[in-house]
Structure 1
């Protein structure tokens, strides 16, 4: 009886032990074991590329002493025979928040309570800059989480506080469950950044992605200035930032385009960021490769969509369906392109999915050796810790995993994970295979007992002698069997409880406690061995991977497009030049330029296009657009944000680009919104569909900035839940301009004085906001101003004249007809709507004759969109100048082509059909001012970015691809795979007054 109770106690005790030696030893000895431990006869991967057969690994005091085939084994060593087993270095995760409590939001009353200045004394002015934060100071070892990571093969993690733009330092932690004194390998090893606002601040700034990029630039400029001893007061944040410069710099980008943005910052300031990506890098692999950065890549692949309901499946965008299909290839694509990367468990719902996803990537071509490198030697090298972790070389920590075979084989069992010489048991290395068919006897009762499943996780099926199923619960741990049996002849009685230690799989036995409390013995004799049912079906083929397109969304192209030599014959050509509209005329496009305009042109290398009955114009130019912008059109955190630029946040994946091309638009000015009087700098872009964001930017573009007047900037229509800041009145708006221009003037003078004195004094602080405003004063940057009411239009012209510069463009300008003579005298142009009115109070006086009246007064007039839908119908907007103002058709067409080019100061290159200008042209099916006209080809610098015939082919291909992907997802669901419910993604279309949530 006592012996049976002792065995039962041991069975419970052993199942709870995470780190147990092969031999029973005193717990104090366990923690203070200075003996050698020797692992013999194993296949040992010293590194991913160095394998030893029948090798020996010798460890002591948590370190590797030696590894090889002829190792002298010290006396009194604990020797463990691992014949048939394999040893690998434990994995390293460079990007976790292990042991760190998630920062909690500190918004006491929502956005209405937003502040603009920091209350922290002695720190940086913006509270999202927190480099003084050290993760080790708030670190608490999380054993349950550590167990999950250990089971997945990880031995070391880097952890940090993921909060803010500059997030502070990260620590390196060993997942050692038994030695809390040596867990922290390094207190400060990494320095972290991200495009995220701190949860611990109520500051309104930054409220957008472009604001975060501007903040980073200002931070680095301030750091340089501070290090040179120019500051009067000590700044603890900048002190910490300077002290952290030699640490490993990790930037969490969370998107392929954000990786390019972070790389842009790194290039500007000579930094070396390790970029923590998102898993979609394959979609921009050429640009990702050209960053020359090292990456940390998550493998949290998306679940298939449940597409069984056809109505719901129609809500899923092709890009999302395609990403599910393509995401597992990301690691192979990165590897094949020579990108150096480590892997992370970040973003996984469950750590156990890490191995599943990695094996999926390997099945799709990711090399196993590269996978092991990405988990061991590469992260160790990135951290500069190759002499301590990531390999099994002498002197490294004794961090290793013992497996039943090749670690990336689906059938391989992970037995143990040793960290700093401390053992963590994943599966019993000495476990016995008890699978088979048994005759089970419990007292006087007999049963048929089938044990199947896998050797490390067997499953049980119990029936009576006459094949009636018996309810039972079965488990095996540490070679101890536990079986609960519900007697067949009772309903409310307790289970019969069986326990026993496995000595020989052929005969199992132990003690049974019957449902009535009596004790007896049980015996199970194996009648036949387990035979795995052979799969007679053909091996399942991997799903077909959809090809990546440029961009990798609907209507993307299978390859990057290139310029062509094109000869359009016998077209009606709207030149926008003194030649006017030419009939039966040829246009030759070559080397991205308009090579010739005339009759009877020829070129043997050209593709000839019959344009008889069709019209050719220069591409439409939209002076005021908000499409294709990432994470915020407004930086609304301050009343002046001249430091931010839309050029940082061009979104090359926006389907509205393709729609604009289909409407004949080739160039747009992407403007900051109108949330503040002084907004951000603009981006002039050419809609090169499929190109990277940087390649869309107009080369050597003139400098512009967005200003705004009216209801938006004084927050009259922001709602009660939004913060209130200066200005709140129209007169306050004027004062903002005067104050900031005066500051900019003084700032500019201080720099000129500093440079004139041969830099003998302390340098002024570089202020990106003041730099931009000084460019306006020095006539190096132009203003496009959101405007409505005549009084404010006059006000800004007066302010400009006071500071000796001119406003370049009034946009919207719906009361421009009232002050057209004053605008002409000032020299300002107008970019207006054709006939929008009454959509808010200050628009009530708008009239559709506004554009023609200003045009007739001698003002350069353009029609803009300010709207994703209108931007692809600007040809029809131009026609309204004919309808409402009797403007000649040729002049009306200039409202959307040559005139906006003049306003943007790019009319020397674009805006008309003239030899030598950029080949930005559109072939129309009809008079371009007609509602029946369709853009048949839209060409930018000789590249056909939209072709109406190819568009029809693309639409058919999209339908076909969707059907293939739906079939794959249905197959995934039928196999029992995890699925997610389809939901329609509501894409935010930006307008002037759009604020980020």
Structure 2
């Protein structure tokens, strides 16, 4: 009879979730009665803050009927006594792809084989990366194997969606029971989903991160237009779905803290507060992340220990990689201690079996158990408005709960059962005796030691002959029977084979030696697993964790530089003003230049810097730069909708390197792949600040245009399929764009003058044309990549005819031929000092170009267009003295005041006088000398580079890297899983005319490269 009860018990719990479902047609007789189960005498964790000791919970079919203790219940209820056990709500994963079809990513296409049209048939969005019409509820197919794997981790329900595209449609709440899919689908349209990844789309646009941002922004505007009357123009099922999906909680997939800031900026524009799925590096910018006020969905994909046995790997691995390995497990604790609301997800975990282990590690490093439980249960349920179905143990919710041997986060606790919709799933078989521990092994006449670790049903066994000799045993366990096979010596061909039975701390049996002789063996437990763990816990020291640095790369600082008042005395001051060069003092107050003169005094406490025999100048301004950007080019011939400010990489070490060269301000330009490129960003090189704080507030607006070989693919090894492919075509593209912009402007003007009339149709807001209208209105300035005289003349004439102005011609190596025309129109020139012969367009370049244009009366700047050259722009400026005979002061202005004028920032930058920004460089020598070095680089009164501190900074950097390297080596020795570190470096520095080789194909300036998830130090 005892053998029959478990069978009946199993039948009872496995059948009850199916019976009582009206739409299922049974084959035979079906029992439609309500079924009750009473769980009693457990430590009942109702939620993260409510615990009932000796608690009771009554289940009716798949729901919780009542929670409490000692209450009345139906006599027909099946009673389950869980004395000594804990019951928790089953976990909820808010970011899953369970049950979704496999996503096949599209391969990269070259710029010479581009796809412009969507390959998706039907009345859907023009771009395949937009898929708001996809509903997880309609494509979900249950997977018993994957459901079982998730149940073992403690999950009872997931919110799943198809993780494909920039707009991904809606998710569904799915139960992890493995009978009918109709029972698993608990709720459709739980949340809408967005990302920066185009996924499986084979369409060329967008190829960049900034293109993804622009496409998403445009889709928001299109959906608004569609609902306000655009549907009368076209029927678009994607826009209909997008508009409807705005009613649901919106989840944005981010891979880094930078993505979170970027996504929040989009959300603010459209009055949407995103739930942000993160990359697990929020601790690096915790104050900025906290300020978002968003709910986060956080992965626990902690890096494996870097394998640094090879000294070359140890040399090449970045400080960032090592610090993130150490600090990633502190992320959850940092979020909790800073009051950030978050959920925990299995997303991004390659080996999901490490999920609970990683959470327990996070608990050791600062995460409380209460915060962990809330993040796995009630937090995701509340954030997604499904807390009336899952997430706690309350009346009316689904009967999804865990039965555990101890607190679920206790080191030795086990999940025994996971009940999903009232259906019991056994996770750990309690009937198996606990065998882990240390044993005294009698192997025939020999006395050895044996250690058993690992999972109880899948034990790991080692036989220890001595401290240095350990024998790995292949083990199979069947109930309490063990089969062991091993070699005493790896060189031996023979294998020992043992069979034994485990009972009461003893394993005994018989076997065969490697020679075939009979063998009797016995293993007696001397130290239990619990005692061994207790002993190790007593001696375990708190793990030492390093500090966060800003930015989180080499040369970062533990605190951000702060503006302070200071007085620089007795320096040779290059005022760039009517006073020219003077020897005197400069007083800085509140980030501004307060006074310039001689014998200035400062209040007590103001730092005084001796500038004797040193030179003080404005910070260098680089009018044409591509540093600190995740992406450079888009692929369309007109890409005016994209913005460099959306893709600033605040962690780029080039920022610091250029501070060491005296650069304080850079204009970050779009590349030269498109006739009309993207909008630029003007930043100050405030090393350590986040991307938004690098941008100069209220700075003038600029955009990049391009002419010539780069646009028409003149260096292409094959004929490009993108228009234009000739210089004539370039002119037509620009003309067509502005004609469309003029008509667009008129359409909006007509609408705004007549909109008082009811029923007037709202025009569609077009981000591409909006930008061109800004140019027409004089609110955005053009910087145009240009070389050849004929094309420069073409653009100037085209601008005259269409009513727009060219602000700056950059590169402009044939500028000496058209300087008179540029002066006549007030066009600036941003050029190189002596570049030539790197392509056909520059065969007539001359090093006297800058000086000739200057003498004609054109405002001329020397730019870098190259991260390495930017560190030596002072020397590039000096070349204009050699080639053309400019004075020292005129030469110096080409990298300070002149670019400030080009950028319309000369009211605050470029001269040293009262009221100007305190962006200054103190040089060891004349700044035009090859011997000059910046001693201090100051921005807004804060010192961002200090040569006197560099030796100490390098010592600290090397010491920290060595500490982490030693820690990684010790971690590997202790048995931690390892992985070879990624020592891949960021591609070589590039400029507008670079020719790089990727996979045997020449491309210009990052043409196919999208570094949206690329970290500066090669993460």
Give, in angstroms, the shift of residue 39 of structure 1. Answer: 1.9
CA RMSD of aligned residues (A): 3.4
State the Cα distance separating 1:562 from its structure 2 match.
Answer: 1.3
CA distance in 1, matches of 2:296, 2:641: 29
Give the Cα–Cα distance (whole angstroms) in 2 for the partners of residues 162 and 447 of structure 1.
57
Which position in structure 2 is the counterpart of 1:910?
909
* SS of equivalent residue, structure 2 residue 791: helix
- C-alpha separation in 2, matches of 1:436 and 1:363: 23
Q: How does 1:757-768 map to 2 (within 5 A)?
A: 757-760=754-757, 761-768=760-767
C-alpha deviations, 1:283-315, integer Å up to 9, x for none? 111111111111100010111211222222111
| Alignment correspondent of 1:641 | 639
Change in Cα spacing, 1:452 to 1:843, as seen in structure 2 (3 Å) is closer
Find the aligned partners of 1:330 and 1:844 in 2 and give their Cα distance. 55
The answer to whether the Cα contact below 8 Å between 2:508 and 2:523 also exists between their aligned partners in 1 is no
- 1:852 match: 851
Note the 1:410-429 alignment, pairs <5 A. 410-429=411-430
* 2:228 and 2:762 in contact (8 A); partners too: no
* d(CA) in 1 for partners of 2:446, 2:680: 84
Paired residue for 2:700? 702
Kindly report which structure 2 residues correspond to 1:369-448, keeping only aligned pairs within 5 A, or say none. 369-433=370-434
User: 2:665 touches 2:685 (CA, 8 Å); kept in 1?
Assistant: yes
> How far, CA to CA, are the matches of 1:572 and 1:831 in structure 2?
27
Deviation larger for 147-156 or 177-186: 177-186
In structure 1, the partner of 2:753 is: 756
Instruction: Note the C-alpha offset of 1:440.
Output: 13
Moved more, 550-559 or 591-600: 550-559
Partner secondary structure for residue 672 of structure 2 = coil
Equivalent residues of 1:709, 1:786 under 8 A apart:
yes
Alpha-carbon contact 1:92-1:155 (below 8 Å) kept: yes
Larger CA deviation: 129-138 vs 451-460 = 451-460
Ranges in structure 2 where 5+ consecutive residues have no aligned partner? 20-30, 465-469, 514-518, 993-1004, 1010-1019
Conserved in 2, the CA contact under 8 Å of 1:715 and 1:724? Answer: no
- In 1, Cα distance between the equivalents of 2:590 and 2:716? 50
Question: In 2, Cα distance between the equivalents of 1:436 and 1:742?
Answer: 81
Following the alignment from structure 1 to structure 2, what is the Cα–Cα distance between the partners of residues 916 and 648?
Answer: 31
> Structure 2 vs 1, CA of residues 24 and 545 (structure 1 numbering), >3 Å: closer, same or farther?
same
Q: For residue 447 of structure 1, report the CA deviation from its aligned partner.
A: 13
1:743 is aligned, of 740, 746, 749, to 740
Could you tell me which residue of structure 2 aligns to residue 104 of structure 1?
A: 104
Instruction: Spell out the pairing of 1:649-728 with structure 2 (5 A cutoff).
Output: 649-720=647-718, 723-728=720-725
Quote how far apart the aligned CAs of 1:69 are: 1.7
Alignment of 1:315-334 (within 5 A): 315-334=316-335
Structure 1 residue 143, shift from structure 2 partner: 1.8
C-alpha contact (below 8 Å) 1:572/1:613 kept by paired residues: yes
Partner secondary structure for residue 784 of structure 2: strand
Q: 1: distance between equivalents of 2:949 and 2:290?
A: 30
- Residue in 1 that maps onto 2:797: 798
Unpaired segments ≥5 residues, structure 1 = 464-468, 516-521
- The Cα offsets for residues 7-64 of structure 1, whole Å up to 9 and x where unpaired, read as 9xx9xxx9xxxx9874565975674384322222211101110001111222121111
Other-structure match for 1:466: none
- Alpha-carbon distance, 1:717 to partner: 2.0
Kindly indicate whether the alpha-carbon contact (under 8 Å) linking 1:555 and 1:951 is maintained by their aligned counterparts in 2. Answer: no
Q: Distance in 2 between matches of 1:640 and 1:246?
A: 33
CA spacing shift, 1:990–1:376, aligned 2, 3 Å = farther
Distance 1:575 1:435, change over 3 A: closer
**8 Å Cα contact 1:435-1:530 kept in structure 2:** no
1:505 deviation in Å? Answer: 4.4
Q: Deviations over 1:672-728 (max 9, x none)?
A: 0000100011111111111111111111111111000010000122443x9521110
Partner of 1:346: 347
Structure 1 counterpart SS, 2:348: coil
Cα–Cα, structure 1 residues 181 and 203, in superposed 2: closer, same or farther, change >3 Å?
A: closer
CA distance in 2, matches of 1:588, 1:445: 89
Shift of 1:101: 2.4
Which residue is 2:140 aligned to?
Answer: 139
Q: How many residues align?
A: 964
Tell me the TM-score normalised to structure 1 length.
0.91
Written as runs of structure 1 = structure 2, the 5 A alignment for 1:214-229 is 214-229=214-229
| 2:889 is the counterpart of 1:890 | yes
What SS class does the counterpart of residue 136 from structure 1 fall into? helix
The 3 A distance-change label for structure 1 pair 864 and 76 is: same
Instruction: Judge conservation of contact 1:114–1:202 (CA < 8 Å) in 2.
Output: no
Alignment of 1:94 with 2:106, yes or no, is no
CA-CA distance at 1:350 after TM superposition: 1.1
Is the 2:109–2:204 Cα contact (8 Å) retained in structure 1? no
CA distance in 1, matches of 2:327, 2:486: 49
TM-score normalised to structure 2 length: 0.89
Q: Pick one of 725, 730, 741 that aligns with 2:727.
A: 730
Residue 506 of structure 1 contacts residue 525 of structure 1 at CA under 8 Å; is this kept in 2?
Answer: no
On the 8 A contact 1:452/1:530 being kept in 2, the answer is no
Structure 1 counterpart of 2:260: 259
Alpha carbons of 1:856 and 1:791: their partners in 2 closer, same or farther (altered >3 Å)?
same
Query: Does the residue aligned with 2:190 lie in a helix, a strand or coil?
Result: strand
Q: Distance in 2 between matches of 1:110 and 1:701?
A: 35
* Contact 1:436/1:526 (8 A) holds in 2: no
- Partners in 2 of 1:162 and 1:428 — Cα distance? 35
Give the Cα–Cα distance (whole angstroms) in 1 for the partners of residues 958 and 496 of structure 2: 58
